[in-house]
Amino acid sequence: MAKVIMTADDSLTIRDIVSYTLTAEGYTVVQAKDGVEALKMITAKPIDMLITDLNMPGMDGIELIKKARAIPAYKFIPIVMLTTESTDGKKQAGKAAGATAWIVKPFKPEELVGVVKKVLR
Amino acid sequence: MSDVDRHLETFRLEAEDLLREMEEVILLIEDNPADREAIDRLFRAVHTIKGSSGMFGLTDIVSLAHHVETVLEKVRSGTLSVGRALIDLVLASRDHFSAMIEGQNVDMMAVGTVIARLQTMLGGGKAAAPGAAAKKAGGRSKGGAVAAYHIRFLPEPALFCSGTEPALLLEDVRALGECQIVAQTDAIPAWEDFNPENCYLAWDITLSTNGGVNAIRDVFVFVEDISRLEIVDLSGDYTGDPDAPLPKVGEILVDRGDIDQATLHEAMSLQNRVGELLTGLGRVSGEKVASALSQQEVLRKQQTAAQKDTVRVPSSKLDALINLVGELVTNQARLSQIAGAIGNMDLASPIEESDRLTAELRDLVLNVRMMPIGTTFSRFKRLVRDLSAELGKEIDLATEGAETELDKTVIDRLYDPLIHLIRNSVDHGIETPEVRARAGKPSHGTIRLTAAHHGAHVVISIIDDGKGLDTEAIRRKARERQLIAADRELSDKETFALIFKAGLSTAAKVTDVSGRGVGMDVVKREIDALRGTIDIDSELGRGTTIALSLPLTLAIIDGLLVDVESDRYVIPLSAIEECLELTDDRFATSTERNVIQVRGSPIPLLRLRDVFQIDSPRPPLEKTVVVAVGDVRVGIVVDHVIGNHQTVLKSLGRLYRDADCISGATIMGDGNVALILDLAGLVRHSLADEAADVAAARRAARG
């Protein structure tokens, strides 16, 4: 069964690129446009990995990571933050919230695939 | 389409939305610089633009966005306040983004100037470009200088199962440099729940080392999978400036993840809730604050709900749907008519039911097209802002009733007329600050743009507190241009109406903005085409109010079906005041057959038979339908009043588009066509006729 990866990002462009890249690698990708939606979706249907933006309206990435980690099923899944260099403090906060790794935007598709393969091994 | 093109297309669409959001929010912030939520929204929009454009190597956008972001970050943290200059810069940046995204030729010099100004705002060009910042950070860790770190080592309870001894790890850390280690014991459970195989401890370590982060990571590399390790570089917090404020305890706790941002905000808000402070000062009652808060909450809920549950549909699909529903309504009317003629009782009930369903469907579909007019309002803010700056005037645009809903077609077609009217107010209405001061008015002019429901109409008013219309000047000009007869006396209302005539401009000088005397007639034509009316009110020196009254929808009107001979006409119901039988005692005098008395007031009659030149004998008892067109009441004389008729509007073909007196046609249940009367046009037409008659009579009298 293909692993299910969620991309949570308020930018449609980023979601599209993540989704397109990982689908081509054989993963199933689901999209959420903010933390609230992401949390609702992952509570309804299990995922294997979460790739989240940090700066999102409603519930931001940090909060999402925390809430996801609080769900027993997601205690151990890889959570990767997508961040830009300007949010360094947030990157640390995301890490503290339970993120497994981060990818800095802008990223190359192969970079993304590399990280995903590593954490989903 | 290649992958990149596909993604670029998505990016462009998204950017368009974000740029619109930026503009809207900037203007909100201009109105209320303390609006934190708006500042957050603005920041997020810029941030997203930066992130997405980076994906396509649009480095110019990334660089500009980065600088805007840095400035906004300062605003968010409260170290920079929002001023005119900042707003101008953000607006300029927005326009540059827009041009760069559309791939237009961008003046990079201008962009450079904006960036330089943004840097100046930060106080001496401290905002390093993203690349430079990264280099600086990299240089530090490789340079081997002593840096301080906060390390939190949180092993899983199962740590021991892998045979790890945490004490040895801590020993290794201690070897890296000067350090303080504090064990966190709050996870240790009560004795009954204590499992000796689990690790309940965590450690906080503050370490000064020249080994760099990687050396620390190396220590914990083997427990990575069964523990959480956080290493925070503290040297970033120390700027080297002895006067710089130290990080606040709250920020440190947030950074460490001991509390989240929300908790911090909650705690912070305890000290500065505006409402509570005001209550404390006794300026406003607690209940009032509570109600204001609940209002805010309701608005927020509506806003988020509206953002969440929307589906975008191209309006062409909606138009097709409305057309179909229109056909359905027509067909339904035909069915009902036939069923009525047959008189079959079994048929009556399902037909009635289907009548009801059709009506419901029609209302629902029409409602889908309803949009709050506020979307257009926000665009005018920018217009007024730019124009007034250009003309050296100080003008505020205040809007009311942005939530008023109107058919999307009406809103779209209103845009140009409104732009024109607002431009006129900015250019001719509001005076320069000096003139205003001399007239004893506040130097700041105000234009109010309001929308409100009035029955089946929406009234949109543009109200300015400018110099008002000079009726004398307008009359003089109109006579000069021979738009009116030299000896004609005009009421103020009639005079105001002259500004819609082509070729009349009383502006002393023509500016870029307006004053060429073209346009107002176009406004009038467009509003007429929307079946709307324009009402002008003005007081010299005090200001002008222009009120546009528009139907809620263009697709369907409620009308009264009448006939003259065998021709049928529909009179829009919203204009009708009453229907009367034209008995002899109605007439004011026995000789004057064109005016009747209705409860004491005279009402001129307009005979459709004359207007449409139907040469057949009148029935013995005619009917008259009293309608109100603007301020004028007219009795429209017809043969019979047939009854209410809900009408799906069909526009007339190209050949008949300019026909006076008729605004459209409709197909009746029996397949016949009825013409829809354009009341304003009808009145205009008759007045013109009358004027011609009078002129002819005068000529005859003189000759």
What does DSSP assign to residue B658?
T
Report the residue from A53, A86, A89 with minimal CB separation from B255.
A89
Q: What six digits make up the tokens of B532?
A: 């709307």
Is the model more confident about B236 or about B56? Answer: B56
Q: Which range is least confidently modeled, B154-168, B236-250, B361-375, B566-580?
A: B236-250
pLDDT digits (tens, 9 = 90+) for B386-414: 888 888 888 888 888 888 888 887 888 88
Report the amino acid identity of residue B451: A
pLDDT digits (tens, 9 = 90+) for B261-287: 777 777 766 655 666 666 666 666 666
Query: Which ranges of B56-208 would DSSP assign to H, the alpha helix?
Result: 59-77, 84-101, 108-121, 130-143, 166-176
Mean pLDDT along residues B368-377: 81
d(CA B250, CA B253): 5
Return the axis-axis angle of helices A109-119 and A12-24, rounded to nearest 10°.
60
> CATH number of the domain that A98 lies in?
3.40.50.2300
Average pLDDT across chain B, whole number: 78
Q: Do A86 and B54 touch (CB under 8 A)?
A: no
Write down the pTM of the prediction.
Answer: 0.46
Band (A1; pLDDT cuts 50, 70, 90) = confident
d(CA B349, CA A30): 50
Task: Determine whether B269 is exposed, middle or buried from the number of CB atoms within 10 Å of its CB (0-12, 13-18, 19+).
Answer: exposed
Report the pLDDT value the prediction gives residue B160, as an integer from 0 to 100: 64
pLDDT digits (tens, 9 = 90+) for B550-560: 877 666 677 89
Q: What six digits make up the tokens of A87?
A: 């949010």
Q: Do B7 and A12 touch (CB under 8 A)?
A: no
Q: Which range is least confidently modeled, A46-60, B264-278, B431-445, B643-657?
A: B264-278
Report the residue from A60, A96, A105 with minimal CB separation from B257.
A96
Q: What six digits make up the tokens of B346?
A: 């079994």
Q: Do A96 and B134 touch (CB under 8 A)?
A: no
Report the pLDDT value the prediction gives residue A77, as an integer from 0 to 100: 84
CA distances from B451 to B338, B374, B460 (A): 43, 9, 4
Domains identified in chain A, total number: 1
What is residue B38's three-state secondary structure? Answer: helix
pLDDT digits (tens, 9 = 90+) for B425-434: 888 888 888 8
Closest B-chain CA to A105: B51
pLDDT at A4 over 90: yes
Nearest-5° Cα angle at B519, B486 to B456: 100
> Which of B151-165, B376-390, B649-663 ranks highest by mean pLDDT?
B376-390
Q: Which range is least confidently modeled, A47-56, A96-105, B21-30?
A: A96-105
CA distance B529 to chain A (A): 40
Report the residue from A11, A85, A93 with minimal CB separation from B255.
A93
Band (B505; pLDDT cuts 50, 70, 90) = low
Report the pLDDT value the prediction gives residue B300, as an integer from 0 to 100: 67
pLDDT digits (tens, 9 = 90+) for B446-473: 999 999 887 667 899 999 998 888 888 8
Q: What six digits make up the tokens of B295?
A: 């209002």
User: Any chain B CB within 8 A of the CB of A17?
Assistant: yes
Chain B positions touching A56 (Cβ under 8 A) are 44
Place of tokens 């092993």: B155
Is the model more confident about A95 or about B634? Answer: B634
Contacts of residue A12, defined as CB under 8 A and 6 or more positions apart, other chains included, come to A33, B10, B13, B14
Length of chain A: 121
pLDDT at B228 over 80: yes
Domain extent, residue A97, equals 4-119
User: Which residues 31-50 on chain A approach chain B with CB closer than 8 angstroms?
Assistant: none
Q: Do A10 and B52 touch (CB under 8 A)?
A: no
CA distance A111 to chain B (A): 13
The percent of residues above 70 in pLDDT, for chain B, comes to 79
Report the pLDDT value the prediction gives residue A38, as an integer from 0 to 100: 94
Chain A positions touching B41 (Cβ under 8 A) are 57
Top residue of A7, A9, A10, A13 to mutate, by most chain B CBs within 10 Å, is A13
Evaluate whether ipTM surpasses 0.85: no
Chain A positions touching B257 (Cβ under 8 A) are 93, 96-97
Residue by residue, DSSP assigns B592-616 as --SEEEETTEEEEEEEHHHHTT--S
Report the pLDDT value the prediction gives residue B373, as an integer from 0 to 100: 84
Which CB contacts under 8 angstroms, 24+ apart, belong to A58-63?
A58/A34, A58/B304, A59/A34, A59/A35, A60/A35, A60/B261, A61/A8, A61/A35, A61/A90, A61/A94, A62/A90, A62/A93, A62/A94, A62/A97, A62/B260, A62/B261, A63/A35, A63/A97, A63/B260, A63/B261, A63/B262
pLDDT at B375 over 80: no
d(CA B660, CA A83): 64
Number of helices (H) and strands (E) in chain B: give both, helices first. Answer: 22, 21
Report the pLDDT value the prediction gives residue B232, as an integer from 0 to 100: 79
CA distances from A6 to A17, A45, B47, B55, B599 (A): 13, 11, 21, 19, 74
Report the pLDDT value the prediction gives residue A40, as an integer from 0 to 100: 93
pLDDT digits (tens, 9 = 90+) for B521-564: 778 878 877 878 888 888 888 889 999 988 776 666 778 999 99
pLDDT digits (tens, 9 = 90+) for B48-95: 888 888 888 788 888 899 889 888 888 888 888 888 888 888 988 998
Place of tokens 């705002």: B121
Closest A-chain CA to B57: A106
Report the pLDDT value the prediction gives residue A93, as an integer from 0 to 100: 77
Report the pLDDT value the prediction gives residue B545, as an integer from 0 to 100: 92
